[in-house]
Amino acid sequence: MVPNPESGAGLERYREYLRLLARLQMDPRLKGKLDASDLVQQAFLRAYQALGQLRGKTDAEIAAWLRQILARTLANAVRDYSREKRDVGLERSLGVALDASSARLEAWLTTDSPSPSQHAERNEQLVHLAEALAALPELQREALLLRYCHGKTVQDIGVQFGRSRAAIASLLRRGLKQLREHLHPR
């Protein structure tokens, strides 16, 4: 369902997707000061205020528009909390980083040379993936994100969490199993 630009209906379906991207790209200086949910809420407020500027009609265009708004929100938060002058390069790099995170998430769902309908279906799957990840226990979600979005090794994750390699492998297995069950219910 593509949002109605007049009313903003349908934008809400992107909330978990944006929250996941915010968690992946949040500046370490902001952790403990702001939550990804706070940043997404601010981005949604800006999106609803700027609905008249939305030109996109497809899911991909709307998701890209929302990622740009989130990137500006993240850049503003870094600026506000660091009290430094605005760094336009930072804002641009956050936008690129969000696009890259989105691309890594899409890599979980990639098919060969997608048609427009396949591309729309993949965007829908990406939104469902973000919802499924949000439903996981925090430790499983963090382990999966570190492994598959940040490319960390099982051993690196174990060091970060203070757990054995076997414990992390088990955590990843359980997390993937729950993701599959959520994404492909019987």
pLDDT in tens, 130-164: 888 888 898 998 898 888 888 889 999 999 899 99
Cα 51 vs. chain centroid, distance in angstroms? Answer: 21
Amino acid 116: pLDDT:
64
Q: Bigger pLDDT: 71 or 107?
A: 71
Amino acid 104: pLDDT:
61
Which residues fall within 8 angstroms of residue 20, CB to CB, at 6 or more apart? 36, 105, 130, 133, 134, 145
Question: Of the ranges 25-29, 89-93, 168-172, 182-186, which one carries the lowest mean pLDDT score?
Answer: 89-93
Domain with CATH 1.10.10 in the chain: 138-186
pLDDT band at 8 (very low <50, low <70, confident <90, very high): low
Which CATH number is correct for 138-186, 1.10.10, 1.10.1420, 3.90.550, 1.10.760?
A: 1.10.10
Question: Is residue 63 a contact partner of residue 17, using CB atoms and an 8 Å limit?
Answer: yes
Mean pLDDT of the chain: 77
Look at residue 175 and tell me whether its pLDDT is greater than 60: yes
Amino acid 28: pLDDT:
67
The pTM of the full predicted model, rounded to 2 decimals, is 0.57
pLDDT band at 182 (very low <50, low <70, confident <90, very high): confident
Nearest to 126 by CA among 47, 66, 169: 66
